Amino acid sequence: DAGITQSPRHKVTETGTPVTLRCHQTENHRYMYWYRQDPGHGLRLIHYSYGVKDTDKGEVSDGYSVSRSKTEDFLLTLESATSSQTSVYFCAISEGSNGRQETQYFGPGTRLLVL
């Protein structure tokens, strides 16, 4: 999985609790992304980062926040988890040569269940 790890790989939590998912890369790629994948919706972008401390919202950012204090780490936080956030979360990275994102490399995913 191209030097990308996600932790935890599985998590069960209760409604209303905060949850943080971590993505770690060893590729020194500029761009990092968080997606969620749900049946019938494909991959939807939550947040992305184009550099340390540079982040922006994606298509489905409500209820999520991110932080990137180091090139290699991109954290996704569910501030107060809800059942609608039960999903599989994928982190991805891309090199971003010439300002284009081109190929993305995906982590193995985190399965989150919110009860």
Partner 1 sequence: SQQGEEDPQALSIQEGENATMNCSYKTSINNLQWYRQNSGRGLVHLILIRSNEREKHSGRLRVTLDTSKKSSSLLITASRAADTASYFCATDPNSGGYQKVTFGIGTKLQVIP
Q: Does 108 bind partner 1 (CB under 8 A)?
A: yes
Select the residue interacting with partner 1 from 1, 14, 51, 79 (CB under 8 A).
Answer: 1
C-beta of 63: minimal distance to partner 1 in Å? 19
SS3 string, 9-78, reads CEEEECCCCCEEEEEEECCCCCEEEEEEEECCCEEEEEEEEEECCEEEECCCCCCEEEEEEECCEEEEEE
Q: Of 13-21, 69-77, 79-87, 89-97, which segment contacts partner 1 by CB under 8 A?
A: 89-97
C-beta of 2: minimal distance to partner 1 in Å? 9
Contact 90, 37 (CB under 8 A): yes
Q: Does 9 bind partner 1 (CB under 8 A)?
A: no
Question: How many C-beta atoms surround the C-beta of residue 91 within 10 A?
Answer: 27
What does the binding site for partner 1 look like in residue numbers (CB under 8 A)?
1, 35, 40-43, 45, 48, 50, 58-59, 90, 92, 94, 99-109
